[in-house]
Amino acid sequence: MIATRDRPPGTGLDRPDPWVWPRAAYVHIPFCAHKCGYCDFASLAGSDHLADRYLDALAREMDFLGEPQPVETIFIGGGTPTRLGARQLARLLAEVRRRFPLEPGGEWTVEANPGTLDAEKADVLAEGGVNRVSLGAQSFQPELLRALERNHAPEEVPRAIDLVRPRFPSWSFDLIFGVPGSTPALWADDLETALQLGPSHLSCYGLVYEKGTALWKQEREGLVRPVEEEAERAMYEHTIDRLTAEGLAMYEISNFARPGHESRHNLVYWANDAYFGVGLGAARYLRGVRSSNTRDLPAYLRRIEEGREATGPTETLDPEARARETAVLMLRRTRIGLDRPDFTLRTGFEFDAIAAEALPRHVRGGLLEDDGRRVRFTRDGLFLADTVLADLL
């Protein structure tokens, strides 16, 4: 093991071990105006009348943690947190601040849907300590938003950004490529529209047909035709080139940021560090145990109101499985990659022993690059990342 004084610089390891002591908190708000066709999140429409009761339960669940837990990052995601009213949002922020006091210089992100943000809510968020907003734009093409069954209109995005820009130092868009009906030209157009709005961060995900979603069923029934693999590759390739040229450096397989605007909260996940998670379906990773709450809202409310935890699936990884998982997550960080001393410090394993023959094979094949200390994806490797990572697992 590596002594504290030898800890690699820039890896956030000057504090007590962050893979044991959580320094991040995730809070889930499940309410949405409508269920989008591709959505596999713990989200539901038509349950807004339960929002106050849900906030009571959330406060109670945070109380189960005992003493306030200072953290460096907070992420309120959903669902659609901005589906809550301004009064409810103010209450939520106050409850979260009390249980998860944010360290000075900390990052506090809230996800927002362009159609549900207004000036009053934006003021509540900014005054409540939120300093980063992540907007679910997904596309600026009306027909692609329809294919995704999103219920906001493209023109609502610039309107939301007019609210976000003066109030928050960092803000991000989520965009999705490979939507049925999309082409490389339409995707290039989406990227240009996004860039003109001047985000400090962009997340660009390839569409996934998650089992059980409406879109997955439509695909199985032949009602929608997925975009050809080659076209999807062209879209991803263009994303990397265009965003990099605009100063939004790629730092994770699907994430791009101007310097200093990387999502510190998501970097916690990609280092396989510990984090708290509260709310419907929320995942947490504490002392080597990964668990998530039930995704059944009535069950969540009932259990918390009865003073019981709402934990559902729980998984305790053995040290080697945890090390493999850590390797896979770290390699997603395309710029930092996997730093061997950092990996060993966090897992107790040598990466070369874990990666056995997969590492030299993928280095020989030109998919990974290895400078003796760090291992990273090459540009070619990015297009086959899922295969390489599956190999390492």
Rounded to a whole number of angstroms, the minimum distance from the CB of residue 228 to ligand SF4 is 24
- Residue choice 39, 71, 84, 389 for contact with ligand SF4 (CB under 6 A): 39
Q: Which residues contact 26 (CB under 8 A, 6 or more apart)?
A: 74, 75, 76, 77, 265, 275, 276, 277, 278, 279, 282, 283, 284
Does position 203 bind ligand SF4 by CB under 6 A? Answer: no
Does position 209 bind ligand SF4 by CB under 6 A? Answer: no
- Residue choice 113, 170, 213, 255 for contact with ligand SF4 (CB under 6 A): 113
Does position 35 bind ligand SF4 by CB under 6 A? Answer: yes
- Residue choice 13, 36, 253, 268 for contact with ligand SF4 (CB under 6 A): 36
Does position 213 bind ligand SF4 by CB under 6 A? Answer: no
Does position 165 bind ligand SF4 by CB under 6 A? Answer: no
Are 206 and 237 within 8 A, CB to CB? Answer: no
Does position 116 bind ligand SF4 by CB under 6 A? Answer: no
Are 15 and 22 within 8 A, CB to CB? Answer: no
Of 150 and 376, the one with the shorter C-beta distance to ligand SF4 is 150
Rounded to a whole number of angstroms, the minimum distance from the CB of residue 31 to ligand SF4 is 8
- Residue choice 24, 32, 84, 327 for contact with ligand SF4 (CB under 6 A): 32
Rounded to a whole number of angstroms, the minimum distance from the CB of residue 113 to ligand SF4 is 5
Does position 114 bind ligand SF4 by CB under 6 A? Answer: no
- Residues 328 to 367 in contact with ligand SF4, rule: CB under 6 A: none
Rounded to a whole number of angstroms, the minimum distance from the CB of residue 18 to ligand SF4 is 28
Does position 172 bind ligand SF4 by CB under 6 A? Answer: no
Does position 146 bind ligand SF4 by CB under 6 A? Answer: no
Q: Which stretch binds ligand SF4 (CB under 6 A): 29-37, 95-103, 199-207, 372-380?
A: 29-37
Q: Which stretch binds ligand SF4 (CB under 6 A): 65-73, 75-83, 255-263, 346-354?
A: 75-83
Rounded to a whole number of angstroms, the minimum distance from the CB of residue 51 to ligand SF4 is 14
- Residue choice 81, 136, 281, 381 for contact with ligand SF4 (CB under 6 A): 136
Of 18 and 281, the one with the shorter C-beta distance to ligand SF4 is 281
Rounded to a whole number of angstroms, the minimum distance from the CB of residue 36 to ligand SF4 is 3
- Residues 233 to 262 in contact with ligand SF4, rule: CB under 6 A: none
On the CB side of 151, CA atoms within 13 Å amount to: 11
Rounded to a whole number of angstroms, the minimum distance from the CB of residue 358 to ligand SF4 is 34
Contact positions vs ligand SF4 (CB under 6 A): 32, 35-36, 39, 41, 43, 78-80, 113, 136
